[in-house]
Amino acid sequence: MPTDPSDSSTVAAHRISEAEQRTSARVGAVLFRHRGWLPVPFLLVPLLAPGRLDAAYWACGVVLIAIGESIRLAGVSAAGTVTRRRSRTVQRLVTYGIFAWMRNPLYAGNFLIWMGFTVISGVFWFLPAAVALFFLEYSLIVRYEEGVLESIFGAEYLSYKATIPRWFPHPPAAAESGEHHWGEAWRSEISTFLQYAVITALFVAKQRTGWSL
């Protein structure tokens, strides 16, 4: 669950919550620090393994990627680019917008994007393995993040956690308005869009040359 750094108030000193001290959270902390490498197997296997690429797979994959990126943009626009560099200095929870529907929209968006590229590849045997690997890794990361947020915000976060689902979106009982920065979100995703272009070019090259391991 990201935070918004715009509030100038200082976060009071906080205790380390029991949730943050659990083994699963400690493992999640390690994965969080190295999360930039987590997409590698989700991209290398579809690129290198034999698979049949056709128009139907491209169409389904592009739809999944578009939905996933839309969820990411909604999350970044509400929370700001701080979502890329969470730390213990966060100042308030963001509970409006997409965060009123689910607690981890950026990770949910990543999941749809990575599954979209797997569908495009036609390497369908990898799909169940990719789903299992994603939820193993990110369940641990989320446990770490939830432990940190519980340490900082205590009952405020626990109340939010008790009412908003972790992964699967659900319409909020009451709409909560808040500021969105769509321009900032689009600019922050430029590098992500460039990565999509490179990956797409590699899939096109694979389709034309028929390479695989």
> From CA 147, how far away is CA 143, in angstroms rounded?
6
Tell me the per-residue pLDDT of 122-176, one tens digit each, with 9 for 90 and over: 999 999 999 999 999 999 999 999 998 899 888 999 999 999 999 999 999 877 7
Inside any domain, residue 163: yes
Inside any domain, residue 8: no
Inside any domain, residue 12: no
Whether the CB-CB separation of 68 and 134 falls below 8 Å is answered with no
> From CA 61, how far away is CA 193, in angstroms rounded?
15
Inside any domain, residue 213: no
Inside any domain, residue 42: yes
Residue range(s) defining the domain that contains residue 119 = 18-207
> From CA 170, how far away is CA 188, in angstroms rounded?
27
Inside any domain, residue 4: no
pTM for this model (two decimals):
0.86
Whether pLDDT at 82 is above 80: no
What is the predicted pLDDT for the residue at 19?
87
Among residues 57, 69, 83, which one has the least CA distance to residue 112? 69
> From CA 38, how far away is CA 134, in angstroms rounded?
9
Q: How large is the angle between the packed helices 105-121 and 55-79, nearest 10 degrees?
A: 170
Give the chain's domain count.
Answer: 1
What is the predicted pLDDT for the residue at 211?
78
Tell me the per-residue pLDDT of 15-55, one tens digit each, with 9 for 90 and over: 888 889 999 999 999 999 998 899 999 999 999 999 888 99
DSSP the chain: --B-TT--SPPPP-PPPHHHHSHHHHHHHHHHHTGGGTTHHHHHHHHHS-----HHHHHHHHHHHHHHHHHHHHHHHHH-GGGGS--TT---B--SGGGGT-S-HHHHHHHHHHHHHHHHHT-TTHHHHHHHHHHHHHHHHHHHHHHHHHHHHTHHHHHHHHHS-SSS----SS-------HHHHHHHTHHHHHHHHHHHHHHHHHHHH----
Inside any domain, residue 3: no
Residue 107 — very low, low, confident or very high, per pLDDT cuts 50/70/90?
Answer: very high
Residue 177, both tokens: 């308005």
What is the predicted pLDDT for the residue at 11?
39
Q: Is 207 exposed, middle or buried (0-12, 13-18, 19+ CB in 10 A)?
A: middle
